[in-house]
Amino acid sequence: MRAATIQRKTSETDVSIRLALDGSGQRAVTTGIGFFDHMLEQLAKHALFDLEVTTRGDLHVDGHHTVEDTGLALGEALAAALGDRRGITRYGDALIPMDETLTRVALDISGRPYLVWKVAFSQPRLGTMDTELFKEFFQAVAQTGGITLHVETLYGVNNHHIIESAFKGLARALRAAVAIDPRAAQSIPSTKGTLGGTPGGAAGS
């Protein structure tokens, strides 16, 4: 089973993550931000990742450090679990409807972190979570996971539906991208022979 455990501790947060890519969607998430917990649970469920997240952050300040550092640790866990990325499909995409909302997510586990974020909200908070922090989370996962990630809400009104469709889209796209390609299970999907298996490593193409 492709899995990793990450501990990330700073003066602002203490994050512990256990991730298994070939799981069944089992999850146990506690970050101190209820809506964020709900979104991470959606991610695990729809990616079929087994995921345990425990984050203790300086929520007396605000949620920024908690959300960003959780994203950084999750990206690190993803990169570690993938190793040299041998055999993976590499690319994934999803088009997710949720009532009146439609969101498109496309990604490449390329070793080249990049985020295109075309998601807008009409209210500053969902539950106790600032909506501006969702971009910070996706950026953090892309950064340490070595992922080129595009997220675009094509249309939508309800803010809950907008962000939930983005998380479900990320889940389904990751599920496809990390899957082993049975036709190329022993090869790295890059003409360069590397996808920079760890953050900061050489990028492939």
* Residue percentage of the chain with pLDDT more than 90: 86
What is the DSSP secondary-structure string of 179-193? SB-TTSTTS-SSTTS
The model's pTM:
0.92
CB 149 within 8 A of CB 107: yes
pLDDT of residue 185: 67
Name 150's bridge partners: 106, 116
Percent of the chain with pLDDT over 70: 91
Chain segment 155-201, per-residue pLDDT in tens: 999 999 999 999 999 999 999 999 998 886 677 766 566 776 544 33
Q: What is the pLDDT of residue 199?
A: 40
**Residue 204, pLDDT score:** 43
Q: What is the mean pLDDT of residues 118-143?
A: 97
Q: Mean pLDDT across the chain, nearest whole number?
A: 93
Q: Tokens standing for 1?
A: 């089973």
Q: All domains of the chain, ordered by start, with CATH?
A: 3-178 (3.30.230.40)
Q: Is the pLDDT confidence value at 19 over 50?
A: yes
| pLDDT tens per residue, range 65-92 | 999 999 999 999 999 999 999 999 999 9
Torsion of CA 57, 39, 47, 17, to 10 degrees: 10
Q: What is the pLDDT of residue 197?
A: 52
Strand bridging mode 125-126 / 101-108 = unpaired
- The pairs formed by 20-23 with CB atoms below 8 angstroms and a separation of 24 or more are 20/49, 20/50, 20/51, 20/81, 21/49, 21/78, 21/81, 21/82, 21/178, 22/48, 23/48, 23/49, 23/50, 23/51
Average pLDDT over residues 16-45: 98
